[in-house]
Amino acid sequence: MRRLTLSLLTFVASCAMVTSTSCTEPVAPAEGEGEGEGEGEGEGEGEGEGEGEGEGEGEEPLPPPPFAISTKGAVAWKRQRALESDLMTALVLAKGEVCNELGQFSCIDFVHQVPLGGNDPFVKSQYEPLAIPTVTTPIAVERVVLSACVARVTKDIDAAPVVFTTLDLGASAVSDEEADATITALFRRLLMRDPEAHELAELRGLTDDEGTAVPPRDFAIASCFAIGTMVEGLFY
Amino acid sequence: MPSFNRRRLLQSLGAAAVASSTVSSRRARAQASADQKLLFVVAAAGGGSLIDSFLPITDPGNSSIVSYPAGFIAESNGFRCVHSPVPINLGGFSVNGHLLPFLQRHGRDMLVMTQESTSVNHIIAQKRSLTGAGVHGGKTILEAQAMRHGEGLLLPNVNMCESGYLEPGDDPSVPDSARAVAVADALLFPFATDGFRGIRGAPSRSLLERARRARRTLDRTSAHGFTFRDASMEKSYLQARETLTPQIEAQDLITKLTAVANVPGAIPLNDFGLDSSPDGAAVRARFPDLLTDPLEAQAALAFLLARHKVSCAMSIAPSFNPLLDGGLRNTPLAFDFSHSNHVLTQYAMWSRILKVTDGLITLLKAQDWDDADPSQGKMWDRSVVYIATDFGRDKTRPPGSFEFGSGHHLNNGNVIISPLLRGGRAYGGVDTATGLTFGFNPVTGDPAPGTLMHEGDVYSALAHALDIDFNGRTALPALLRS
């Protein structure tokens, strides 16, 4: 028994240390299947629309992961204060500018405080915050980030741009060069790194809507929203 | 016929959202139509005392037991209740009683069940009032209800309470879907049901949906995404984002759950592309102060969640903070202000709780369960309202006094209103010499001095009404409708 435990530990340790695909390769195909399974299979069969294609539908098979998979998976949730602070820093916004529902109710301090991981012991007698995100947390995150992105773009249109300096926000289309520069700037501001080539390519697609050019203003908001709500920026 | 690629069509999150929501909706309605039941917990936070509401003792004269003169006790539908013929004065504010009107309207569906709890610590007692002191493996009755009747619902268990009433149960086997969604502000909760709507200046939904799809790819291919693909917290988050969010948005809950009306300048819904619920007018008629009274707003949201088959377990509670709005609507510390002024606090807070409960039940009685099939009856036909409370209050007072403070006491009881149980009577009784409640025969329902029921028995009564079976459930045939 001890020997078996030891060998398992050795295997896990070697997987964690190796950055090649040797240990993780067999896991790779499960990514596409795993994510598509719940929606595709269940609904397809239930409504007779599946035709046996449901599983993994909508997901191209991924290449083998070039990184080792964390065996502990111990991530921390970036809760409401840190989220607000990071958005303020990244998008150069004041506290009151980040997100206000109906233009008056603070998303961070009030409306979405609980699903974003906060709690109010004084007014609401909530003595503990949620241990983990709740089902409405993703929506709350999206509203906060989208509001902050809209606020930043609006300010950059109304005055000398601060964040979207490489875009002509009044133009009718976005060039690839402008898109790449904007995406790179947003990655650096929101995720503290440069985008990979495939990430640039993916987001560059937001400049075009089935042959119609997306206005730079909308591209700026959409790309800001996509990058700002990536799980990479919400869990660490 | 326009040519389209089916794969691409299904790749469209919008299409998937519509499809999945339709399926979900159908599943929910199929499930709901069969045997679904509804649980509403109204928490009498701070200690609502039964001998100060529906089991009052008549004062024989200068008694040192908490009791009331005969002129302050009324009768209706087989119950007695504390009732002041004139509005009472609490801290300079006038309070109209609502116990007697409540009995007159709902007494036949109401039962009182005596019990003695196991803690006089607020937070512990509050939690035990929902877990039955652990009788069902630690599950709260709300979690058990969500597990039993929540399949196919988007947010089966919504908890708007505070403190111990907000705490999750202790059973780790409760699935995430049955755990409570905590709602801090009922009026603004609908904003948490759509990622985009109501954000002025946002680009088109179609572009933002494309941004979501791009993000999904980025999340799956980033170094972080690979490294933490098995992190349970992230997986859970992504599951909610990719599966539940589209379903929630497709139900247009941001409209259906918005009880408040468009109020230019104050609540400018229309300026932000939003609107009030189609049920808003009916809800506001019952809860006219929902803009200023959080308890009314909670009750309104509870009704709308059930009405639109979003949830089956909803809980509401008055705040521990005072509410001064044309009168003392909510005492500081809710029922626990009895420490300072027992009689008036109990009367004011019972009236407050029952007035809101009355509004909720009235809405449930008026609303068909299925708009398309009135033969399925009203929402009320499958509802249980449980007035939970922490514990009772002291049974003694300075002889004959009406101005005294009371401490916490284990001995008390609960009120349940439901057409699913045999209402119109009190189960158990009160020893007028001590003010202590005693139990009842679970088969006949007859009073049984010398016996006591406990939190687990109340939990069992609720479980019977809600078709929740578990090992250790107390058999209570006396409470069941034949």
pLDDT tens, position by position, for chain A (236 residues)? 344 333 333 333 333 333 333 333 333 333 333 333 333 333 333 333 333 333 344 566 666 667 788 989 899 999 999 999 999 999 999 999 999 999 999 999 999 999 999 999 888 888 889 999 999 999 999 999 999 999 999 999 999 999 999 999 999 999 999 999 999 999 999 999 999 999 999 999 999 988 899 999 999 999 999 999 999 999 99
> In sequence order, what are the residues at sequence separation of 6 or more whose Cβ sits closer than 8 angstroms to the Cβ of residue B5?
none
Domain assignment of residue A62, yes or no = no
Q: How many domains does chain A have?
A: 2
Domain assignment of residue A176, yes or no = yes
B226 at A interface, C-beta within 8 A: yes
With an 8 Å Cβ cutoff, are A49 and B27 in contact? no
Residue of B23, B194, B201 with shortest CB distance to A47:
B23
Domain assignment of residue A118, yes or no = yes
- Nearest residue of A to residue B320, measured between CA atoms: A125
Domain assignment of residue A127, yes or no = yes
Are A86 and A6 within one domain? no
Closest CA to B90 of B352, B371, B376, B280: B352
Provide, as residue numbers in chain B, all residues whose Cβ is less than 8 Å from the Cβ of A147.
199
Residue of A53, A142, A221 with shortest CB distance to B195:
A142
A172 at B interface, C-beta within 8 A: no
With an 8 Å Cβ cutoff, are A114 and B233 in contact? no
Are A109 and A176 within one domain? yes
With an 8 Å Cβ cutoff, are A154 and B244 in contact? no
What ranges in chain A are assigned the alpha helix state H?
A: 2-17, 29-36, 42-47, 80-91, 137-158, 176-191, 197-204, 216-228
Domain assignment of residue A195, yes or no = yes
Are A89 and A200 within one domain? yes
Are A225 and A124 within one domain? yes
Three-class SS state of B377: coil
**Torsion-angle region of B20 (φ positive above 0: left; ψ -120 to 50: alpha; else: beta):** alpha
Residue of B196, B221, B236 with shortest CB distance to A198:
B221
Are A17 and A111 within one domain? no
Three-class SS state of B216: helix
Three-class SS state of A119: coil
CB atoms near residue B374 (< 10 Å): 10
B231 vs chain A: nearest CA distance in angstroms? 4
pLDDT per residue as tens digits for the range B433-473: 999 999 999 999 999 999 999 999 999 999 999 999 999 99
Are A136 and A181 within one domain? yes
Helix (H) or strand (E) holding A100: strand A100-101
What is the mean predicted confidence (pLDDT) over B390-405? 96
Are A114 and A42 within one domain? no
Are A38 and A134 within one domain? no
DSSP states of A150-174: HHHHHHHHHSS-SS-TTS-TTSS--
Are A97 and A142 within one domain? yes
Q: Domain range holding A21? A: 2-46
Domain assignment of residue A15, yes or no = yes
> Residues B136, B474: contact at Cβ < 8 Å?
no
B101 vs chain A: nearest CA distance in angstroms? 30
Q: Tell me the C-alpha to C-alpha distance, in Å, between residue B121 and each of A94, B164, B407.
A: 43, 10, 11
Are A103 and A210 within one domain? yes
Are A111 and A181 within one domain? yes
Are A158 and A90 within one domain? yes
Domain assignment of residue A71, yes or no = no
Domain assignment of residue A183, yes or no = yes
